[in-house]
Amino acid sequence: MASTIRRGKPKIKPPKKHGPDVPIEDIWTQLSNNIREIHKQNASRLSFEENHRFAYNIVLSRKGEMLYNGVCDLVVENLENLAAEQIIPAFPTGNKDDLVEQSQEWELLLKALRNVWDEHQANMSKLSDILKYMDRVYTKNAGVPEIWDAGMNLFRKHILRPPIQPHLVTAILQEVRLERDGFTISRSAVKGCVDVMLQLDDDKGEIIYKRDLEPVLLKESEAYYKAEGEKLMESCDAPEYLRRAEDRFVSEELRAIHYLSNQTAAPLQRILESALLTPHLQAIIGNRNSDLDVMIDTDRKTDLARLYKLFVKVPTGLPCLRRAIKDTLATRGKEINSLGAVSGSGTADGGEGDDAPEPTGKGKGKAGPPGAQLLQVALKWVEDVLALKDKFDTIWTDSFASDRDLEGGINEAFESFINQNERAPEYISLFIDENLKKGLKGKTDEEVEAVLDKTITVFRYVTEKDVFERYYKGHLAKRLLLGKSVSDDAERGMLAKLKVESGHQFTQKLEGMFTDMKVSADTMAAYRTYLNSKEAPDVDINVIVMTSTYWPMPQPSPQCNLPLALTEASKVFEKFYLGRHSGRRLTWQPSLGNADVRVTFKARKHDLNVSTFALVILLLFEDLSQDEFLTYEEIKTATAMPEQELQRNLQSLACAKYKILKKHPPGRNVNPGDSFSFNYDFTCNLQKIKISTVSSRPESTEERKETKDRIEEERKHQTDACIVRIMKDRKHMTHNDLINEATRQLASRFQPQPLDIKKRIENLIEREYLERCSDRRSYNYLA
């Protein structure tokens, strides 16, 4: 049978007490000798248990104070020996002009301190183990630091003291400066010394590093970088300065991480900001031959990104950059506007084809008609603005981190210089017109969308949107009436974009024009059916019925004496149309029409496409012989056309590429003394020929003033309607509130002046839409 043997827990035997025959003084003598051996790195020869017993018996004998003070004295003695043997001999004594030699000496000093620190820590660790009972019993009751903490305090007092401490601080500062100057140093040596200072604090609890090293380091750094900033500004261009500054920010951050304190990183960054950036912001942007403009012109996106990255570090950096961007855009915009300026006052419809009159005499083939010149100027202006916008959009996204504040500055600058060009609304409309007529041929839907989006971007900056609407309406009308739009989808897409930007009211009339085109197509289908049961006229006509409030009708409408055949065909359509719609009135617009006519020449017959006015002129020559001619005055009397239209159409027929008529004498301009004959000798390889009407001449100063007056008159009506609409809703408003609200609502059409709104308020009071209250500062709505 198995048996189990149970053993009791082993007992820990207390250390044997020295008998009364062993005096405490002798125990201390033996323990102090052993502590000195520990300081001499001979701890392996000693018995830990024996030394622990010695300390235990001394404390047990109520001699803890003697033990504590005695150990501290031995630690001080050892520290003094270490300082005298290792640190003080390492003080630099070499040539101060030899930086490499000096760096090596500072490195030796820093390593010596670290060696003493490591040895001291090892010694204090052994002493702490031996004196655990003293720390547990005596130090707490006596209110003194434990022996480890006491050892650290003694190290601070006897090692980090003059003359050692100033040498250490100088050594660290010199090593940092040498590294800043491009020399290689021993980072581990500096880090070792810095770590010692970070682990020690003074009697007030302040870390030695923060008290003795960091303030001096920061002061030295501030002086260093202030001087460097001045030196770099004199010797570097802006991109190089930015590269150097960025390198300094990176190097100081790494320096704080690798061998200084993380707590020093932020103060060093602030010093760099205040020394390298804040005083030189404007100088960096406007530096010679390498400033912001050059970086933008040469697409130095990396340098621009570095510029932005550094400028946002300081409070004044971003506003400074924003101002600089606005200034450079203002300069570039002014240059674009100067290139887009047209001598004299004028406008043009952009022409209706490439069949312009040929120049004669000197410079033949180099100059086009005024309208064509303006068209090219307008297209170039918009293309330059779009190119500039693309450039700055790319910079904004790639280099400026899509900063919203800078985006606001860019938009303000574009809006400013675009609206400084009083022709901007007209130019934008011409650009859209040219693209929707022929510029989009062969392009994909995505490319079409991109062109329209870019154009809308420029339109967004225009404040006088009502002026743009006037021109756009005229250009759209010609595209629709003459069938020149290459894409109905593109037209409607552009209309949708304008509607998003400016609201339904802005595009209401434009949409009405499309509606009229559709209704007219249905009307013509019904008219063809109607003619099947009637005797059709000799001339086949296609009529577009335009609602007068939607379309830009010329004022006054140019009329002429239509030939009998055209008159009869017109009356047949009038009878049909008015029979379907009672209470309506039709007014014919021959200036907006065109005709296809077959003409017989000596060589062959050609199908000509001409304007209605040109057809009327051609029919005058139908029964004339080859030798007969008509004078300018005879044609004017027979057609009763306005002189401006007569000259334009005669130029198209007699002075352009296809000379259907002969002008006597020859020349590019039509004068009242000229005469004309039919060109029976005309030849051309084409069967179908389009005789385009030459572009309108630029408006005279008086005509342009009339256009401006009409716009001003429209604005008065819009302002009146806006004020009445506001007051009808609010019933009562103060003067300032009404001005502000009216300005806000009208801003989508144009920028009204407060004085103009005030005049309209006075006018509405006279017309009894509003009344002024007794306080003279507010108004009531009168129902």
C-alpha 380/C-alpha 275 separation (Å) is 46
What pLDDT, on a 0 to 100 scale, did the predictor assign at position 77? Answer: 95
Give me the domains of the chain, ranges plus CATH numbers: 24-200 (1.20.1310.10), 316-502 (no CATH), 518-590 (no CATH), 593-690 (3.30.230.130), 701-781 (1.10.10.10)
**Distances from the Cα of 702 to the Cα of 202, 374, 707, angstroms:** 90, 18, 9
Number of H helices, E strands in the chain: 31, 9
The strand order across the sheet containing 778-781 reads 732-734, 778-781, 770-772
What pLDDT, on a 0 to 100 scale, did the predictor assign at position 372? Answer: 65
Contacting residues for 550 by C-beta, under 8 A, at least 6 apart:
509, 510, 512, 513, 515, 516
C-alpha 720/C-alpha 14 separation (Å) is 109
What is the mean pLDDT of the segment spanning 547-558?
81
**Distances from the Cα of 195 to the Cα of 88, 201, 263, 572, angstroms:** 20, 12, 13, 106
Answer whether residue 18 shows pLDDT above 60. Answer: no
Query: Which one has a higher pLDDT value, 503 or 660?
Result: 660
pTM over 0.85: no
For residue 438, give both structure tokens.
């022929």
What pLDDT, on a 0 to 100 scale, did the predictor assign at position 422? Answer: 87
- Helix, strand, or coil (residue 623): coil
What pLDDT, on a 0 to 100 scale, did the predictor assign at position 109? Answer: 95
Smallest Cα–Cα separation from 245: which of 258, 263, 231, 262?
231
What pLDDT, on a 0 to 100 scale, did the predictor assign at position 8? Answer: 52
What is the mean pLDDT of the segment spanning 211-231?
95
What pLDDT, on a 0 to 100 scale, did the predictor assign at position 668? Answer: 85
For residue 583, give both structure tokens.
């209470």
Answer whether residue 68 shows pLDDT above 80. Answer: yes
Question: Alpha helices of 181-290 — where are they, by DSSP H?
Answer: 187-199, 208, 214-235, 238-258, 262-272, 281-285
When mean pLDDT is compared across 314-323, 755-764, 774-783, the lowest value belongs to 774-783
C-alpha 156/C-alpha 160 separation (Å) is 5
pLDDT confidence bin for 80, thresholds 50/70/90: very high
Smallest Cα–Cα separation from 471: which of 614, 556, 588, 374?
374
What per-residue string of b and e applies to 672-711 under the rule 16 or more CB within 10 Å gives b? Answer: eebebbbbeebeeeeeebbbbbbbbbbbeeeebeebeeee
pLDDT confidence bin for 75, thresholds 50/70/90: very high
CB atoms within 10 A of CB 156: 19
What pLDDT, on a 0 to 100 scale, did the predictor assign at position 440? Answer: 65
Which run of H or E residues covers position 732? strand 732-734
CB atoms within 10 A of CB 392: 22
**Residue count (the chain):** 783
**Distances from the Cα of 28 to the Cα of 14, 55, 73, 150, 465, angstroms:** 20, 8, 13, 19, 102
Task: Name the packing angle between helices 301-311 and 238-258 (round to 10°).
Answer: 60
For residue 96, give both structure tokens.
């101060």
Smallest Cα–Cα separation from 28: which of 5, 57, 7?
57
Query: Which one has a higher pLDDT value, 705 or 85?
Result: 85
pLDDT confidence bin for 167, thresholds 50/70/90: very high
Smallest Cα–Cα separation from 393: which of 410, 416, 415?
410
Per-position DSSP letters for 338-372, written without gaps between them = HHT--SSS------SSS-PPPP-STTTTT---HHH
The strand order across the sheet containing 661-664 reads 630-631, 675-678, 661-664
What pLDDT, on a 0 to 100 scale, did the predictor assign at position 4? Answer: 44
What pLDDT, on a 0 to 100 scale, did the predictor assign at position 347? Answer: 43
What percent of the chain clears pLDDT 70, i.e. is strictly above it?
90
Query: Which one has a higher pLDDT value, 6 or 648?
Result: 648
Answer whether residue 538 shows pLDDT above 90. Answer: no
Q: What is the mean pLDDT of the chain?
A: 86
